[in-house]
Structure 1
Amino acid sequence: MPDDVWAQFVQDSERDIRTSEAPKEPSARARMVTERLRQQEARGELPPGWRTGPAWQEMNGQKARRRKVWTIIGVVLAIALAVVAMKPSLLPGDPFGTGTDTQSANPLPDETAAPTNAPSNAPGTPTLDKPFAGSPAVRYADGVAGIVLPEAKPVGAFGKDQVAKALAQTKSLLVDANLDRKTLLGGTPETTLDKILDPKQPDMIADARSWLRKPGKNSDPLWLFSRFDPDEVRLVGDVVKTRGRTTFKAGRDGGVAIHADYTFVYALAPADPDSTEVSRTIVRRVLDLELLDPAKYEVTPGRLSVNRHDQDLANSACDIYDGFLHPQFDSADPTGAPPSGPTTDPYDRSRDIGKSGTEECGTVSRT
C-alpha cells in the first residue's frame, strides 16, 4: 500500500473515531500503535507486505474460488432437480414410491428378429386411465406405429417399387383387420376384401365374406379379423398396443413371399358405461402372403394371395363361435367352455404358435 494511501487511511480512521461515540482513550492508543509501526517500518523491522497481508489475500482468493465452485454446483443441482420434477421417469426404479416402475414405460425398440424369451412382468393394475398398466404391452408401440416395414428392394420378377407396394398392402391389411375401429366393433374390413386380397385366389374372399355373414366353428372370421360385440364390451381409449415385424424374401417362381408376425393387445371394459373394470385380450397373428408373377400364375396383378393365417387368441371365451372375441372379467362369471389346452404366455413372442385353431383354447398365464 503506498504511503499516501496509508496516511489517508489513518487520517480517515482518526476522524471517524473522533466523530463517533467511542471513548477517547482507544483513539490515543491507536495513534501510538500507528506511530510505533511506522518507526519499525522505517528501521526495516517489519516483513515485506505486512500491510497488505498476502496470506489473507490468498485466503480470500481461496474463499472466492470455493464460493464460485459451490455456486456452479448449486446451479447444476437446481437444473437437475427441475428436470426430474418435470419427468420423474429419468430416475431409475421407483424412488418416490409411486408404486409403478417408470422405466417399464419406456418404449421398446422396433422388433427386427424373433425374440428368444418372454418379456418380464410389469407392475401395476389396469384402470380406465391406464388400461395397459401391469402388462408388457405398456412398452409396445401405439397402433399403426408398431407396424414398421423393412426397406424394399427388387425381388425375383418384381422391382423395388412393386415390392414396396406389396409391403404397404400388407400393412394396410393388418391395420384394417386388427386396428380399424369399425372392424373392431363388428364391421366388415372392406379394404382387405376389396383392395388387397386377390379375387382370383380360389374361395379366399368368398369364404371370408361367408365367415362374416354366418360365423361358426368351421367358418370363424376371427381367423383373420379381430372383432368385439359392442353390446357386450367397449374399447377403452383409442389405443391398441402393437408389437411385431414384417419380413420378405424371394417366393415361388420369381414371386415375393411376405411374412408378418404381430401381437395386438386390446383394452376393454364392460358395455355398461358405469363400469370401471378393465380387461385385456391379446391376439397374435401370423400371416404368410405372396405376390405372384402374373406371367406364371393366374392372378390379379398387384394383389396379394394368402398362404397361411394362424392366430392365438388369449383371454377370450372358449367354444363361442359368433364371430366375436369375448374377454373375461373378474367381476363376471366365466362364459364359454372351460379351457382345455395348456397354459401359455400370450406375450411370449418367442413361442411358435403353429397352426393353432380355436379348438385349442387354453389358459393364459397373464393378461
Structure 2
Amino acid sequence: MSSRTPSGEPPERPDEGGAVSDEQWAELVRRAESGGGDAPKEPSARARMVTARLRALDEEAAGERRGRKDGRQEAWQPDGWRTGPAWQDGRSRSRKRRRVAGVLGILVVAGVLVVTMRPSLVTDRLPGADVSVDTLPADAPAPDGPTREEPFRGSPALRWADGAAGIEIPAAKAVGGMSEDQVEQALRATRQLLVEANLDPVTLRGDRPREALELLDPLQKGERDRLERSLDRPDVEHDPLMLFTRFDPGEALLVGDVVKTRGEMTFEAGDPGSVEVHADYTFVYPLSKPGGDEMTRTIVRRRLTTALHDPEKFVATPGKLSVISSQQNVGNTACELYDGFLHPSFPSDRPDPYRKGPDVDPYDRDAWQPEGACGKLTRT
C-alpha cells in the first residue's frame, strides 16, 4: 500500500546514515548547550535508538501478556441456534453477510500499539474493570455479561428501543383497492399481534395467548385450527414458536419488564381488495434461572406477513388479520426440541458436545439463517 502527503508528493524517508559514536553524541550535546548555531542537525540514528528501546519494551509487555494468558479461562458462550420452517409459504432466504475490512484492520493495529505501551488507557474504562477474569470461577459469566441490575450489559441491544416502542408503523396510504384507513388498520393490527405474541407477559410465561388469537380471522381456512393444535399438542409439524415466544417458567424467567426490540414494517398491495403487511423484528429477552441469579439472553428474530381482506370481496371477517407466512431465527435455545417452549442455555449448563454448524451472530440483521440451521452463537 502506498501513501502520499497532502501536496501529492511521497512522504520523506528517514536519513539512512551510519551509527553515531558516544564521542560524537557528547560533542553534539555540548555544542547544543553552548548555543552554537552551526551545530549539525541530529541524524536519524536517534530515531533508531528510540525504536530499539520501544521494541524492547514491547517484547517485555508481550511476555507479560503471554504469562497472563496461560492461566486465563475461555469465556462462556451459549451454543444454541435454531431456525424453523416458514408457515404457509415455506420459503426461507439467506443473504451473504457483509464484512468490514480495510479501515477496521488499520484501527486494530493502531489500538494494539497503544494498548501495548499503556494498557490502562483501555482497561481502566471497561465496564466491570475492577473484576479480574483470572479470578472468576469456570461457570461465571464474563465481566461484561448480563446481571439483574444491567440485564443488557455487553449486548448491542442495550441501545435498542424498549418493547412496543421499537415497533413503529409506517405512514398509511391507499393500495390494492384498500383505503388509507383500512391500510392503517392492517398496520396497527399487525403491530398489536407482534406485541401480544412476543412481549405480553402472559404469552412469555407459556400461557395461552388469547389476545393474539383474537386478532386473527377465524374464517381463514385451517389457520386458527393449526394454532390451537400447536398450543395443545406441539410437535415438529405444529410448533407454536413459529408465531409466539414462550418460555417454560420452571426453566427460565424474564428479568425485569423490558424486552429490547428493533426492526421494520412495510406494506404493499396484495390481491385486489387486500393489503399485505411485512414485519421483520428482533426481540432480546434477559432471563434468569428460577431461584437464582444466573443470567443469560435469548434472541428471537421474526419475519411475519399478514393480510387484511375486504370482506366484500373475500370470505373474511372485518378488521381481522390472516397470517400469510411466519418465519423465525432463534439464538440461544435447544435445537430439535419441539415441546412448545424455548430452552435457553445458562453459563453453568454443559455445552452440547455434538453441536455442529457455522458460527452465528444473532444480532446480524443482514443475514437470515436458512431452515434447519443449528449452529454456535458468537454472542448473546
Which residue, out of 126, 136, 144, partners 2:164?
A: 144
Partner of 1:363: 376
Query: Do 1:318 and 1:339's aligned partners in 2 also have CA atoms closer than 8 Å?
Result: no
Residue 294 (structure 1) shift: 2.4
Query: Do 1:216 and 1:321's aligned partners in 2 also have CA atoms closer than 8 Å?
Result: yes
- Identify unmatched segments of 5+ residues in structure 1: 1-93, 102-122
| Distance change in 2, residues 1:347/1:209 (3 Å) | same
Deviation per CA, 1:57-95, whole angstroms, max 9, x where unpaired? xxxxxxxxxxxxxxxxxxxxxxxxxxxxxxxxxxxxx99
Distance (whole Å) between structure 1 residues aligned to residue 202 and residue 264 of structure 2: 24
Deviation per CA, 1:158-213, whole angstroms, max 9, x where unpaired? 2111111111100110000000001000011112212x111111111111011011
Query: Do 1:317 and 1:325's aligned partners in 2 also have CA atoms closer than 8 Å?
Result: yes
Query: Do 2:329 and 2:368's aligned partners in 1 also have CA atoms closer than 8 Å?
Result: no
Partner of 2:228: 209
2:311 paired with 1:294: yes
Residue 342 (structure 1) shift: 2.6
2:298 paired with 1:281: yes
Query: Do 2:175 and 2:269's aligned partners in 1 also have CA atoms closer than 8 Å?
Result: yes
2:320 paired with 1:303: yes
Write the letter of the residue equivalent to 1:147.
I
| Distance change in 2, residues 1:221/1:253 (3 Å) | same
Which residue, out of 303, 322, 344, partners 2:360?
A: 344
Query: Do 2:176 and 2:271's aligned partners in 1 also have CA atoms closer than 8 Å?
Result: no
2:277 paired with 1:234: no
Residue 218 (structure 1) shift: 1.5
Ranges of 4+ aligned residues in structure 1 off by more than 3 Å: 94-98, 337-341
Partner of 2:175: 155
Residue 254 (structure 1) shift: 3.4
Partner of 2:278: 259
Distance (whole Å) between structure 1 residues aligned to residue 267 and residue 246 of structure 2: 28
SS at match of 2:229: helix
| Distance change in 2, residues 1:345/1:321 (3 Å) | same
Query: Do 1:141 and 1:243's aligned partners in 2 also have CA atoms closer than 8 Å?
Result: yes
SS at match of 2:327: strand
| Distance change in 2, residues 1:308/1:341 (3 Å) | farther
Q: Give matches, 1:1-367, under 5 Å.
A: 97-100=124-127, 124-194=144-214, 196-272=215-291, 275-334=292-351, 338-353=354-369, 356=371, 359-367=372-380
Distance (whole Å) between structure 2 residues aligned to residue 345 and residue 306 of structure 1: 28
Residue 152 (structure 1) shift: 1.2
Distance (whole Å) between structure 1 residues aligned to residue 285 and residue 263 of structure 2: 15
Residue 352 (structure 1) shift: 3.0
Deviation per CA, 1:21-65, whole angstroms, max 9, x where unpaired? xxxxxxxxxxxxxxxxxxxxxxxxxxxxxxxxxxxxxxxxxxxxx
Partner of 2:14: none
| Distance change in 2, residues 1:332/1:353 (3 Å) | closer
SS at match of 2:363: coil
Residue 339 (structure 1) shift: 3.3
Write the letter of the residue equivalent to 1:132.
F
Query: Do 1:316 and 1:326's aligned partners in 2 also have CA atoms closer than 8 Å?
Result: yes
Residue 98 (structure 1) shift: 4.3
Judging by fraction of residues, say which structure has more helix.
1
Distance (whole Å) between structure 2 residues aligned to residue 150 and residue 339 of structure 1: 41
Deviation per CA, 1:279-323, whole angstroms, max 9, x where unpaired? 000000000111123233222222111111000011001122111
Query: Rg: which structure is higher?
Result: 1
Residue 353 (structure 1) shift: 4.0
Distance (whole Å) between structure 2 residues aligned to residue 191 and residue 353 of structure 1: 30
SS at match of 1:171: helix
Distance (whole Å) between structure 2 residues aligned to residue 221 and residue 296 of structure 1: 30
Percent identical pairs in the alignment equals 50
| Structure of greater relative contact order (alpha carbons < 8 Å, 6+ residues apart) | 2
Distance (whole Å) between structure 2 residues aligned to residue 127 and residue 186 of structure 1: 24
TM-score with structure 2 length normalisation?
Answer: 0.61
Write the letter of the residue equivalent to 1:235.
L
Distance (whole Å) between structure 2 residues aligned to residue 210 and residue 340 of structure 1: 31
Query: Do 1:311 and 1:353's aligned partners in 2 also have CA atoms closer than 8 Å?
Result: no
SS at match of 1:253: coil
**How many pairs are equivalent?**
247
SS at match of 1:256: strand
